[in-house]
Amino acid sequence: GLAIHARLPQEPPRLIHGDFKPEHVWQNGSSLTVIDLDLSRPADPALDLGKFLGDLPRWCDGIRGGGLNAARERFLAGYARGIPPQRLLRAHLYEAVELINVAARWLPLSDPGWASRTERLVGQARAVIDGLQVRLGVRSARKPSSDFLDTAGTMEGPELSAGARGRHTQEEDSTNARRAN
């Protein structure tokens, strides 16, 4: 990861959200509200983009027919329009890191499908890193493993359990309650 990061073009720090993910974007009709700005700080602007992309599988897991790819494409069509191409390259590195984070933090070990979903997320992170290495000329392309992605490139398997999704909300609720006191 660090060798790849060193080869990526950098840009000056900018104010970022710091924890940009789908659950922090609320839609009300045609307007959007971004919440939870407590981690905002000057940093690499690619961090927010990579965090969001890496967190998408958690919300799209189990959606067949290109659900993850469709969500990625729609997000990138809006968010990435007009950004420097080198930012998108760095965002993919951060995406791979977030995919590993999602696998480690959000998949409960008590869920019977945790092992296969963890394997898919780790495989997806590996595919992102492999793609960056090829694009940067670090190594030549190799055939992607079909163990992790179906033919459409989407995540397979059942949805994350309500417990996995609810755990974040419960943690945030207790954190917010402590802050309020």
Alpha-carbon span 164 to 170, nearest angstrom: 10
Taking residues 132-139, report their average pLDDT: 86
Alpha-carbon span 10 to 124, nearest angstrom: 24
pTM to 2 decimal places? 0.71
Taking residues 94-106, report their average pLDDT: 93
- Identity of the amino acid at 161: S
Neighbours of 101 (CB within 10 A): 16
Which DSSP state fits 61?
T
Least confident of 9-18, 22-31, 39-48, 169-178: 169-178
pLDDT tens, residue by residue, 53-67:
999 988 887 665 568
Residue 123: predicted pLDDT? 94
Domain map (residue ranges) of the chain: 2-164
Parallel, antiparallel or unpaired: strands 25-28 and 31-34: antiparallel
